[in-house]
Amino acid sequence: MFSLPLRDGARLGPLEVRHAEEFAAHLDRAREHIRPWVGPSFVTHDLAGARATLRRYAERQAADGARLYGIRRDGVLVGGVMFTAFDTTSGSCEVGCWLEPSAEGHGLVTRACRALLDWAFTSRGLHRAEWRCRADNARSAAVAERLGMTLEGVLREAWPFEGRRYDEQLWAVLASEWHTTRERAGGEGALR
| Residue spans per domain, the chain | 4-184
Is pTM, for the whole model, over 0.85? yes
pLDDT of residue 132: 97
Q: What is the mean pLDDT of each run of 10 residues along the chain (192 residues)?
A: 86 96 94 88 90 96 96 95 97 96 92 96 97 96 96 97 96 95 57 33
Cα distance between residue 26 and residue 38, in whole Å = 15
The SS3 call for residue 1 is: coil
pLDDT at 41: 82
The Cα 161–Cα 17 span in angstroms is 28
Q: What confidence score (pLDDT) does residue 42 get?
A: 84
**Exposure string for 2-31, b = 16+ CB within 10 A, e = fewer:** eeeebeeebbbbbbbbebbebbbebbebbe
CA dist., res. 179 & res. 18, Å (int): 35
pLDDT of residue 186: 54
- According to the model, what pLDDT value does residue 1 have? 55
- pLDDT value of position 2: 80
- Identify the pLDDT of residue 8: 86
Determine whether domain 4-184 maps to CATH 3.40.50.300. Answer: no
Rounded-to-integer distance, Cα 138 and Cα 122, Å: 29
Phi, psi of 181, deg, nearest 5: -60, -40
